[in-house]
Homo-oligomer: A and B are copies of this chain.
Amino acid sequence: MAGVSAGTVDRALHNRGRVNPEVAERIRKIAKELGYRPNAIAKGLSKRKDNMKITIILHISKTNFFFDDVMIGIKQGYDELIDYGMTIDIKYTSDFNADDQLRNIDEAIAERTNGIIIVPICDSRISARLNGISSAGIPVVFLTNLIDGTEYDSFVGCDYELSGQIAAGLMNLASPAGGRLLVFIPSLAMYGHRLRLKGLRETIERDYPAIRLQEYIELTNDEISDYQITRKKLEEHPQTDQIICPGAFGRGCLTAIKDSGFFGKAKIIAYDCSRIMIQALRERNIMAIIAQQPTLQGYTAVKTMASILTGSEETPRHDNFIKTRILLAEHIPEIEKSYEEERRKIRGPLP
């Protein structure tokens, strides 16, 4: 229509230069009038040869199965990327070790990765390294956790502050007359947990003053010491009738609550849908779980990265909050069915 060839149109529309400004203008105008939209799948087919590689840096931990669920989502996402010729490389950082994670990052760069998805550890060196990478043009997507004051292209995870607010609202719903609340939180080294606590505290203060937040106790993520800490704190606060506890790392904490005789005595809300929490929910020992859909997080992270890598437009930094769900005992069959289905949907293993 513009009397030029496809190649010229391509260059004009993508500002690749080497094209007469007047012609380019004419082409853009016509494209606009026609409502032209590039065909994403054709572009994908064509770009297939680029062989993009995405590196995912996760944590490995024997007591936290959260990332097992994240992995399922990653596989689902990867499954859709294979057709685009993209590749995924997964690296594990052991024990939330910053040095180890730093090494993972450097390795990824050395291997000329095209983008990094990472569950970042709060550490100034990690932060500095990621800032460098992001500004060097390699996109960085934060998964599940985020670091304060660090550059990133997208954050995929739950809205922690909101999840704290929701716990407050749910506790109020369960005991409108208020109560004595004890909050156990996983290591605050994870910035998200800090935000969650903030949301919880502010909401209680503002909207539910009848709830008395007796103390919030930071746990260690070590099963045994968490057990000991929890027992000790419950002894110190025998009047406790409301408890909020972690789910993913919550085994030690929950066992202590049970052994201290607080099952049935306190209303308990747990974060995250670990096996042990599901069991406790089934037996009506805990009231509800606030789940953050780890599988969807993994899936969304991969898809987000893919869209950053293929997207022509400069995508501005964009938080991609995955909605949490409040789960009751009635949800258990649904949860279990989902587990099966999600596992079934996966076609092949990762490379």
Contact = CB atoms under 8 A, between A and B. Distances in A.
Nearest to A333: B162
A170 interface: yes
Contacts of A334: 159, 162, 321, 323
Interface string A71-109: 000000000001110000000000000000000000000
Which among A35, A162, A321, A326 has the greatest number of chain B C-beta atoms within 10 A?
A: A326
19 contacts: A37-B82, A37-B348, A39-B45, A41-B44, A41-B45, A41-B83, A159-B334, A162-B333, A162-B334, A165-B330, A166-B330, A166-B331, A169-B330, A173-B174, A173-B287, A173-B328, A174-B174, A323-B325, A326-B328
Contact of A173 (B288, B321, B323, B347): B288
Copies of the protein in its oligomer: 2
A325 B83 CA distance: 33
Contacts of A40: 83
A347 B37 contact: yes
A213 interface: no
A6 interface: no
Interface string A19-60: 000000000000000010101111011000000000000000
A170 B329 CA distance: 10
Nearest to A203: B330
A168 interface: yes
Nearest to A163: B330
A83 B43 CA distance: 10
A170 B41 contact: no
Nearest to A327: B326
A49 B173 CA distance: 56
A39 B323 contact: no
Interface residues of A, number: 35
Given A40-B83, A323-B325, 14 more contacts: A37-B82, A42-B83, A45-B45, A162-B330, A162-B333, A166-B328, A166-B330, A168-B330, A169-B328, A169-B330, A173-B328, A321-B334, A323-B334, A325-B326
B173 A35 contact: no
Nearest to A174: B173
Given A41-B45, A45-B41, A45-B45, A328 B83 contact: no
A235 B44 CA distance: 64
Contacts of A162: 330-331, 333-334
A288 B176 CA distance: 14
Contacts of A348: 35, 37
Interface in A137-177: 159, 162, 165-166, 168-170, 173-174
A154 B331 CA distance: 22
Nearest to A170: B328
Interface string A186-212: 000000000000000001000000000
B323 A326 contact: no
A329 to B, nearest CB: 6
A23 to B, nearest CB: 26
A323 B170 CA distance: 19
A172 to B, nearest CB: 9
A170 B288 CA distance: 10
A40 B80 CA distance: 9
Contacts of A333: 162
A186 B340 CA distance: 33
